[in-house]
């Protein structure tokens, strides 16, 4: 099995290292000092489950790799539309693309029963730009329950979690999903094939939709947000609105709001990926995490005043940081 990891950052390199350890033919696509370290020393994983090194091939040129069986996308969702030149050399007739992203995926309504079947969500597929690069027929969804960070170039610190739930947009338990799951398990990871991955998407999104934008606005860690009475109440309200929006699309997250907040508090003084990106001066991954949720609320007629207000504030923050023009009312 040939697998390319496009965006071999903290999560991508960790997955690539595990797949390589399990016997897959893995190719990592990275750049800069991180790429140099991967080429020289392989991926060095530091984990409470045991340290290991994986000497997977690494490059910054996907043409050196050619078509593969699977592309594991470790990019942020807002990078998908511009990644065509990197992805195209990796695609054969049957190549599947496993998108390990936060938030609402571009394929969300594909094949979903109801009046919004096959509807394109503008927030995550503007003008169809993502669908053009990543045709839905290639997509395998992936919800990541794993926390990692790049400790130094080529060195991945695994903090917690090993589950990567995957599933077809159609809900089918396909041979290609089973095969990829087997490869992940061989590498020491959990990879259940879920017939309704959308429920998993909303379970994780209940946290992301609240904690990620609020962390950017407050510069607070997970436990600080959960411990502040006023912010905790704001989080709970954002989660309630999110559960209502999920229900309007036929999905029902299998966790209570209190349990979801308690689980987040146990993470401790951890900065969300959005706060880390803000501090690093990077573009914020907001559209998939909250913009698309607000768009779905509009499509389904679900009131979501708290989500709309927080989205407006964090969108303005992101624009001021990056110098993006602010729309005139």
What's the CA gap between 261 and 214, in Å, rounded? 14
CA distance 12 to 14: 5
Contact 197, 143 (CB under 8 A): yes
Q: How far from 184 is each of 19, 99, 158, CA to CA, in Å?
A: 6, 15, 16
204 is known as an active-site residue:
yes
**In this structure, are residues 74 and 7 in contact, taking their beta carbons and an 8 Å threshold?**
yes
Cα–Cα distances in angstroms (integers) from residue 284 to residues 111, 202, 265, 267, in the given order: 29, 20, 23, 22
Which of 76, 204, 271, 282 is catalytic? The answer is 204
Pairwise CA distance, residues 103 & 212, whole Å: 11
The candidate with the shortest Cα–Cα distance to 101, out of 183, 22, 9, 36, is 9
Which residues are catalytic, by number? 204
């Amino acid at each position: 099995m040939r697998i390319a990891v496009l965006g071999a950052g903290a999560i991508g390199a960790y997955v690539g290292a595990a797949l390589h350890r399990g016997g897959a033919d893995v190719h990592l696509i990275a750049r800069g000092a991180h790429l140099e370290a991967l080429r020289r020393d392989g991926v060095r994983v530091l984990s409470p489950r045991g340290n290991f090194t994986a000497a997977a091939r690494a490059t910054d040129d996907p043409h050196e790799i050619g078509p593969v069986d699977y592309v594991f996308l470790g990019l942020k969702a807002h990078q998908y539309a511009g990644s065509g030149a990197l992805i195209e050399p990796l695609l054969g007739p049957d190549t599947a693309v496993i998108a390990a992203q936060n938030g609402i995926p571009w394929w969300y309504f594909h094949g979903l029963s109801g009046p919004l079947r096959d509807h394109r969500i503008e927030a995550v597929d503007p003008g169809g730009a993502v669908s053009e690069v990543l045709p839905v027929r290639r997509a395998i969804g992936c919800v990541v329950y794993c926390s990692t960070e790049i400790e130094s170039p080529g060195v991945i610190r695994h903090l917690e979690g090993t589950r990567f739930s995957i599933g077809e947009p159609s809900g089918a338990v396909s041979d290609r999903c089973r095969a990829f799951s087997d490869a992940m398990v061989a590498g020491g990871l959990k990879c259940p094939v879920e017939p309704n991955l959308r429920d998993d998407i909303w379970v994780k999104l209940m946290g992301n939709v609240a904690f990620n934008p609020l962390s950017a606005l407050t510069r607070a860690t997970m436990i600080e947000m959960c411990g502040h009475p006023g912010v905790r109440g704001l989080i709970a309200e954002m989660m309630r609105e999110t559960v209502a929006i999920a229900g309007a699309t036929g999905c029902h997250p299998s966790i209570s709001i209190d349990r979801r907040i308690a689980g987040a508090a146990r993470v401790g003084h951890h900065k969300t990926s959005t706060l880390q990106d803000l501090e690093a001066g990077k573009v914020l991954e907001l559209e998939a995490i909250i913009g698309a949720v607000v768009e779905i609320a509009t499509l389904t007629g679900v009131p979501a005043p708290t989500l709309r207000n927080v989205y407006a504030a964090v969108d303005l923050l992101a624009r001021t940081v990056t110098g993006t023009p602010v729309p005139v009312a």
